[in-house]
Amino acid sequence: MATKKAATKGAQTHGNSGATNAQLIEFYRQMLLIRRFEERAGQLYGMGLIGGFCHLYIGQEAVVVGLTACANKQDTVVTSYRDHGHMLACGMDPKGVMAELTGRATGYSKGKGGSMHMFSREKGFFGGHGIVGAQIPIGAGLAFAHKYKADGGMSFAYMGDGAINQGQIYESFNMAALWKLPVLFVVENNKYGMGTSVERASASPDLAARGEPWKIKNMTVDGMDALSVYEAGLEACSYIRAGNGPVLMEVKTYRYRGHSMSDPAKYRTKEELEKMRSEHDPIDALRHLLLSQKLMDEDAFKALDKDIKDIVLEAAEFAQTSPEPDPSELWTDIVVAA
Amino acid sequence: MSTQILMPALSPTMTEGKLAKWLVKEGDKITSGKVLAEIETDKATMEMEAVDDGVIGKILIPEGTEKVQVNEPIAVLLGEGEKASDISAAPAAKAAAPAEAKAPGAPAPAAPKPAATASAPEPAAEGGKTQTVREALRDAMAEEMRRDQSVYLMGEEVAEYQGAYKVSQGLLDEFGKKRVIDTPITEHGFAGLAVGAAFGGLKPIVEFMTFNFAMQAIDQIINSAAKTLYMSGGQMGCPIVFRGPNGAAARVAAQHSQCYASWYAHVPGLKVVAPWSAADAKGLLKAAIRDPNPIIFLEHEILYGQSFQVPENDDFVLPIGKAKVEKSGSHVTIVAFSIMVGKALKAAEALAAEGIDAEVINLRSIRPLDIDTIIASVQKTNRLVTCEEGWAFSGIGSEIAALIMEQAFDHLDAPVARVAGKDVPMPYAANLETLALPQVADIVEAAKSVCYR
């Protein structure tokens, strides 16, 4: 594969983090996978193959790709319902994710969870949570378990800017700081909680400062740049892993699509969206860097595009041809047999 | 290869829409993400974006067309090296319709009947030691914490204060602050944190100072603890015990005197346990801690100081889902749980003096409910009285009455009678509180009425 050849070119590193050429190419590959996957999910939704609520991650790819690159094998991740990107970044199989979206037996939750409720214990992904903010105490609890078991792990607890005004966020901040839990709280500030802008919802729009009453270390990061996110993530994780307690990271990002599939996004201007897309797209930005550094050429990009397209098409095909869950599944997984 | 662009469904309920405006024309080169058209759905005007790269070969549906069906081809996209002329005879195959649910209208499969709880004969409590319910609960926790390092206790005042009701007395000394943890007053937060810890491989015991305060945490209990196993296709068990006093204590008025049995019993994915005696408390709490599911363990403040015989056996574990016949009788069945068991037994004594031989069933477990034991009793007595401290409306008695009506209607010689708390918030005044709570006399009266006495 062309990318592999490129990756072995020298031991050059980038930015303050020392990201290698191979890492940059991998960031690009993962972001492209998430974007193409989400576009395809949107199409399958349009065809009636995906139902209910479906929240796409398009535009925010750099956040989860940059931060997941800082994670170790024993670490855990929990997020809200805008979760497809997190699952792909955690290494979950696109086929299983897409098949869950179409409600099939081969999906990660056997078709019983859907877009908002998917999990992989194997990959350390603990959901996919449908109640705004409720994943944050759970993320603190995962960190509590890491500390209790002394397994060296930490948890990544993601939320949107809409969740930041929920009371349980602050209950979690307090306990995480009080008990020095190894958790990275990530606010993916995409500027709108559904249709309400941060300015209309938050008396103080400086979301990183929301941990100050508990003296939680905070960071504000450009979420449209995977390398910046990665650098900030490394700093945060090293602080957390050293036993200093939680970090609150506000990542400034942007979602291109509506809140969910049926949102026409009338609360923002076309110009605002176009400007983000044309001037701040995380995938375009990294593409230019890879080109200018001669780490990948047009042929390599073409080959990678094709690889990603094939993966996504295979996932979509799998999701459409897999059987629906057997009716008997209605009655399974309610309680574990004691 | 050319690709058809289909009319998309852009809301969960859309079946057709208006193709309001094309934003591209034939011959335009497009890349994925480009806005192609504006579509009016049943709710709003939405933009439709391209998923594939290519060239617009042909627009099949002109703008302004109304009632375009979802999945109808609206344009053809050309791949590399294709010309519009190649597609004149493009097959108008529609997208594969989503697989129809099998046999629409077919009945859902019946709920499997829970396997009968095969339980070893219960060890005789006689010959054991006398203990208060409080001590039995503490011993249950201590024994399970010795047995399993992943079990820990958290809650308000459980450690240094030794428990608001002294239930956790001595546990901090034995197990240290890593495993016996004082929380801030933050029920929603620590309930959610404990759920996360359970997902992460621990077995938390969460003490609520009272279940009245657990209403702050009920979202985490139901949406996170109870439902995640199902939503994850069985991957994510949540072994956790939420315990604390439930129901009315004495003179603490409306916000501190409520029975939550029917609230939690309503929810699939939870087990709800309510012990009466110290032996119940010990055997059921040990079972709850060992159970791989989220358990609501409803204690009662008035019972904490009451003493009972408890078997002296570290492995005394009672099965969850199995009721106990506390007193057998032949004229009327009285079903009760928690503090109402004691009142039911007193009522049975009073009834005996009047020549009515009552059978008293201690439910022990509300969900799963041991309906078989109740049915077997009703088959013998043909009369049923249910007792609970909570309100009758949508209460546990209502559920039992419905189940008996469905499953043992022919055995009833009288309508089921419900003894419950009066349908009012709990008053503070001593006389009014007594009136609001179900008393022994209420049970006696109900039992006599179903016996037509």
Pairwise pLDDT comparison (B101 vs B294), residue with the higher score: B294
- Comparing CA positions, the residue from B371, B369, B344, B368 lying closest to residue B358 is B344
Q: In this complex, which of A58, A110, A168 lies closest to B192 when CB atoms are compared?
A: A168
pLDDT digits (tens, 9 = 90+) for B387-410: 999 999 999 999 999 999 999 999
Sequence-ordered alpha helix ranges (H) in chain A:
2-7, 21-46, 61-68, 84-89, 94-101, 135-149, 167-178, 198-201, 226-239, 270-280, 282-292, 298-321
A138 and B41: CB-CB below 8 Å? no
Q: What is the pLDDT of residue B10?
A: 85
Q: What is the pTM of this model?
A: 0.91
Mean pLDDT of B314-328: 95
Residues of chain B positioned with their CB less than 8 A from the CB of A334: 229-230, 268-269
Q: What is the pLDDT of residue B90?
A: 46
Q: What is the pLDDT of residue B43?
A: 75
**Distance in angstroms between the alpha carbons of the first and the last residue of chain A:** 50
Lateral strand order in the sheet of B65-69: B45-49, B35-40, B16-22, B65-69
**pLDDT band at B15, cuts 50/70/90?**
confident
Question: Other C-beta atoms within 10 Å of B292: how many?
Answer: 16
- Comparing CA positions, the residue from A123, A101, A99, A103 lying closest to residue A111 is A103
Residue B367: partners with Cβ closer than 8 Å, 6 or more residues away: B264, B265, B270, B271, B272
Interface test with B, best of A142, A156, A274, A318 (most B CBs within 10 A): A142
Q: Cα–Cα–Cα angle for B233, A123, B218, nearest 5°?
A: 50
**pLDDT band at B434, cuts 50/70/90?**
very high
A112 and B231: CB-CB below 8 Å? yes
The C-alpha of A198 sits at a distance from chain B's nearest C-alpha, in angstroms, of 23
Q: What is the pLDDT of residue A246?
A: 98
ipTM of the prediction greater than 0.90, yes or no: yes
**pLDDT band at B246, cuts 50/70/90?**
very high
> B203 and B243 in contact (C-beta within 8 Å)?
no
Question: Other C-beta atoms within 10 Å of B127: how many?
Answer: 9
Q: Which structure tokens are listed for B337?
A: 């749980």
B219 and A167: CB-CB below 8 Å? no
Distance between CA atoms of residues B375 and A238, nearest Å: 62
A330 and B33: CB-CB below 8 Å? no
Q: In this complex, which of A36, A102, A109 lies closest to B233 when CB atoms are compared?
A: A109
- Looking at chain B, the whole-number percentage of residues with pLDDT higher than 90 is 79
Residue B368: partners with Cβ closer than 8 Å, 6 or more residues away: B114, B271, B320, B321
Is there a cis peptide before residue B275, judged by omega within 30 degrees of 0? no
Q: Which structure tokens are listed for B424?
A: 């009012």
Residues of chain A positioned with their CB less than 8 A from the CB of B44: 262-264, 266
Paired with B3 in beta bridges are: B77
Mean pLDDT of A305-316: 97
> A83 and A41 in contact (C-beta within 8 Å)?
no
Catalytic member of B16, B188, B256, B411: B256
> B193 and A175 in contact (C-beta within 8 Å)?
yes
A262 and B10: CB-CB below 8 Å? yes
Q: Which structure tokens are listed for B403?
A: 């189940």
Distance between CA atoms of residues B267 and B367, nearest Å: 9
Mean pLDDT of A144-153: 98
Q: What is the pLDDT of residue B98?
A: 46
Q: What is the pLDDT of residue B105?
A: 55
Question: In which element (H, E) is residue A20 found?
Answer: strand A19-20
A39 and B49: CB-CB below 8 Å? yes
Q: What is the pLDDT of residue B92?
A: 46
Distance between CA atoms of residues A204 and A177, nearest Å: 21
pLDDT digits (tens, 9 = 90+) for B37-84: 999 887 788 888 888 889 999 999 999 999 999 999 999 999 877 877
Residues 61-100 of B with CB under 8 A from A: 70-71, 95-99
> B192 and A137 in contact (C-beta within 8 Å)?
yes
**pLDDT band at B23, cuts 50/70/90?**
very high
* Exposed e or buried b per residue across B72-100, where buried means at least 16 C-beta atoms within 10 angstroms of its C-beta: bbbbbbbeeebeeeebeeeeeeebeebee
B331 is catalytic: no
Averaged confidence pLDDT in chain B: 92
Residue A2 has pLDDT above 60, yes or no: no
Question: Other C-beta atoms within 10 Å of B114: how many?
Answer: 14
Domains in chain A with CATH codes: 13-281+291-320 (3.40.50.970)
Q: What is the pLDDT of residue B124?
A: 62
Mean pLDDT of B143-148: 98
Residues of chain A positioned with their CB less than 8 A from the CB of B51: 39-40, 42-43
A174 and B70: CB-CB below 8 Å? no
Report the residue of chain B nearest A38, measured CA to CA.
Answer: B51
Residue A330 has pLDDT above 80, yes or no: yes
* Identity at A10, one-letter amino acid code: G
B51-55, long-range: CB < 8 A, 24+ apart: B51/A39, B51/A40, B51/A42, B51/A43, B52/B3, B52/B77, B54/B2, B54/B3, B54/B29, B54/B30, B54/B78, B54/B79, B54/B80, B55/B27, B55/B28, B55/B29, B55/B30, B55/B82
Chain A contact present for B279, CB below 8 A = no
pLDDT digits (tens, 9 = 90+) for A76-88: 999 999 999 999 9
> A282 and A17 in contact (C-beta within 8 Å)?
no
Distance between CA atoms of residues A251 and B25, nearest Å: 38
Identify the burial level of A150 via C-beta atoms within 10 angstroms of its C-beta, where 0-12 means exposed, 13-18 middle and 19 or more buried.
Answer: exposed
**pLDDT band at A15, cuts 50/70/90?**
confident
Residue A127 has pLDDT above 70, yes or no: yes
Residue A118: partners with Cβ closer than 8 Å, 6 or more residues away: A83, A87, A92, A97, A100, A107, A108, A109, A125, A127, A128, B232
Averaged confidence pLDDT in chain A: 94
Q: What is the pLDDT of residue A135?
A: 98
B411 is catalytic: no
Q: At what angle do helices A61-68 and A282-292 cross, to 10 degrees?
A: 60
**pLDDT band at A264, cuts 50/70/90?**
confident
Residue A17 has pLDDT above 90, yes or no: no
Q: What is the pLDDT of residue A10?
A: 47
